[in-house]
Amino acid sequence: MQVEELERSAALAAAQRAHEEIIRASIQWPVDIAKEARRRAEDVISTISSALEHDATSVARRRSLRGALVYALELATICDVAQAHGVLVLDSLRCTSRMLSMLSLTYHAAAIGDDT
């Protein structure tokens, strides 16, 4: 498996795991916050999938990955809002943090990789 396949698998796997955790945890959250969290988690997965349709170092892939990073940052913010409402979000924050890390590495590889 090539390095780019490993890293994109890691980003997508982290996003899917975060999505699963958000679905599980958000049952206990206020309805509006839970709805937004689930929507953002779905947006991250969709945007990563879109990014992977483009060449490894293309502008289109980087644009999609930046979009995924924005959605992931919004999701992290929503987790903070949920925590401010007094609900437990530790696992959600961990999964979201890991997803942000994997997305950042994927973006880095798309920016510097050799697309030959």
Which pLDDT score, from 0 to 100, does residue 1 have?
41
pLDDT at 5 over 90: no
Q: In this structure, which topology does domain 3-112 adopt according to CATH?
A: de novo design (two linked rop proteins) (1.20.1440)
pLDDT at 11 over 90: yes
Structural domain boundaries in the chain:
3-112
Which pLDDT score, from 0 to 100, does residue 101 have?
96
Q: List pLDDT tens digits, range 47-84.
A: 999 999 999 899 999 999 999 999 999 999 999 999 99
pLDDT at 3 over 70: no
pLDDT band, residue 88 (cuts 50/70/90): confident
Tokens at residue 57, please?
């170092």
pLDDT band, residue 29 (cuts 50/70/90): very high
CA atoms within 13 A on the CB side of 14: 24
How much is the average pLDDT of 6-34?
91
Give burial (CB, 10 Å; 0-12/13-18/19+) of 70.
middle
